[in-house]
């Protein structure tokens, strides 16, 4: 579990950054270009909403990077508190991000975001929370500790 938490948390950091880049270039920038040159209030309102949405997306991604980093440190140092911080944050960050993206999809013409767009991230969050909870349980039960980790790692049939 320790190795899985560290690997998936590193992947989570990468995906958080990629999420901001993809949303900016494939979702926000094309929509902004559709409204450029229009002189009505809807154009400025839409651009303001897109700016706000990108800001929220960057903040959530930044907090996700912090949470995943704490999870990596917690996994390496056998610190269950650091891992638990990420367990609490992941569903909250996911819910906030999805709420704002759905809100944008309903308020801004040209932004297409639906339930199918959240299936992949939801599966990832569920897997990550499960692994983090499992690691915390193993640390609490003494199954995973600095004292016995090396011996157990040698007994493992994979990743050695």
DSSP state letter for 144: S
Going from the C-alpha of 13 to that of each of 19, 97, 106, the distances in angstroms are 10, 15, 28
Say yes or no to pLDDT of 51 above 90: no
Q: What is the 3-state secondary structure (H, E, C) of 33-50?
A: HHHCCCCCHHHHHHHHHH
Say yes or no to pLDDT of 2 above 90: no
Q: Which residues of 57-85 are buried (b: 16+ CB within 10 A; e: fewer)?
A: beebbebbbebbbbbbebbeebbbebbbb
**Token digits of residue 136:** 């915390």
Place of tokens 């690997």: 7
Q: How confident is the model at residue 9 (pLDDT cuts 50, 70, 90)?
A: very high
| pLDDT of the residue at 151 | 61
| pLDDT of the residue at 144 | 75
Global pTM reads 0.77
CA distance 11 to 147: 27
| pLDDT of the residue at 108 | 61
Yes or no: say if 60 and 17 are a contact pair by the CB < 8 Å rule.
no
Sign of the torsion formed by the C-alpha atoms of 5, 11, 14 and 19: negative
| pLDDT of the residue at 113 | 64
| pLDDT of the residue at 91 | 92
CA distance 26 to 28: 6
Mean pLDDT, range 55-69, rounded to an integer: 90
Mean pLDDT, range 41-67, rounded to an integer: 79
Q: What is the pLDDT of residues 22-48, one digit of tens each?
A: 877 776 666 666 555 555 555 667 677
Say yes or no to pLDDT of 106 above 80: no
Q: What is the pLDDT of residues 127-146, one digit of tens each?
A: 999 999 999 999 898 887 77
């Amino acid at each position: 579990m320790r190795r899985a938490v560290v690997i998936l948390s590193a992947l989570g950091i990468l995906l958080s950054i990629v999420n901001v880049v993809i949303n900016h270039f494939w979702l926000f920038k094309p929509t902004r270009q559709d409204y450029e040159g229009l002189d009505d209030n809807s154009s400025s309102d839409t651009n303001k909403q897109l700016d706000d949405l990108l800001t929220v997306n960057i903040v959530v991604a930044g907090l996700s990077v912090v949470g995943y980093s704490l999870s990596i440190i917690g996994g390496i140092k056998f610190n269950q508190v650091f891992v638990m911080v990420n367990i609490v944050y992941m569903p909250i960050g996911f819910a906030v991000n999805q709420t704002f993206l759905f809100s944008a999809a309903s308020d801004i013409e040209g932004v297409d975001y639906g339930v199918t767009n959240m299936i992949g991230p939801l599966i990832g969050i569920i897997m990550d929370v499960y692994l983090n909870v499992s690691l915390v349980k193993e640390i609490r039960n003494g199954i995973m500790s600095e004292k016995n980790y090396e011996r157990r790692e040698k007994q493992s049939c994979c990743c050695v």
